[in-house]
Amino acid sequence: MIDLFANLAHGFAVAFSPVNLLMCLIGALVGTLVGVLPGIGTIATVAMLLPITFGLPPVGALIMLAGIYYGAQYGGSTTSILVNIPGEATSVVTALDGFQMAKQGRAGPALAIAAIGSFVAGCVATVLIAVLGAPLTKLALAFGPAEYFSLMVLGLIFAVVLAKGSVLKAVAMIAKASEPSSTNNPTNIRKAVASIVMAKPVP
């Protein structure tokens, strides 16, 4: 535990240097600008902006890439709130409440809530990953076939519980998506998932 705090202190000392903070700021700004474009997503944003880090030191490059990733994640919520078009899959839930707030003239508070929530959640998640990374790695290596099967069954149960409308339809859609002929076709999987969420078949 002492090593953990020593490593965190060293990491913060490196990250809080003026040059690295500037790299993070530039990365977050550019990532947000690209992340606002619907349909691109965080992975494509990082891939497109990767060449701008080639001439940087390794630490600065990684910090800039992290800023690009976080900026792209937040940028997707901007279009979700303002025009009800999620910039990526993780921004779909933001569109549910954020766009309603924007229609009531509260777009500014909605964007602020998304930004502050993203910052706080990102900081907490980073610390949790640092603290729980080693124990979770040991737990994952101990997983066997029985544990993986239990996880898959749990996922199927969650899909049925979260589905709207008839439970029988939800089970049927999951069974359809699980067919060997369907698993090789991403279009069939997307249609099955959309059918579960909307509780009606998608043509």
Summarised one tens digit per residue, pLDDT across range 150-180 is 988 888 888 777 776 677 777 777 777 666 5
What is the total residue count of the chain? Answer: 203
Phi first, then psi, for residue 104 (nearest 5°) are: -90, 10
CB of 35 closer than 8 Å to CB of 88: yes
What pTM, to 2 d.p., does this model score? 0.65
Query: For residue range 50-94, what is the model confidence (pLDDT) as tens digits?
Result: 888 888 889 989 999 988 888 888 888 888 888 888 777 777 888
pLDDT band of 203, cuts 50, 70, 90: low
Query: Could you tell me the maximum CA-CA distance found in the chain, to the nearest angstrom?
Result: 58
Tokens 């080639």 identify what position? 54
Tokens 């090789």 identify what position? 184
Q: Note the pLDDT of residue 182.
A: 46
**Chain centroid to CA 8: how far?**
24
The domain segmentation of the chain, as residue ranges, is 2-141, 145-198
In 3D space, the residue among 88, 119, 117, 84 whose CA is nearest the CA of residue 98 turns out to be 84
Whole-angstrom distance between the N-terminal and C-terminal Cα of the chain?
Answer: 55
DSSP 36: T
Three-state DSSP class for 184? coil
Q: Note the pLDDT of residue 2.
A: 75
Check residues 180 and 24 and name the one with the higher pLDDT: 24
Q: What is the mean pLDDT of residues 93-103?
A: 86
Three-state DSSP class for 37? coil
pLDDT band of 202, cuts 50, 70, 90: very low
**Chain centroid to CA 109: how far?**
22
Amino acid symbol at 83 = V
Tokens 């099967």 identify what position? 149
Q: What is the mean pLDDT of residues 85-109?
A: 84
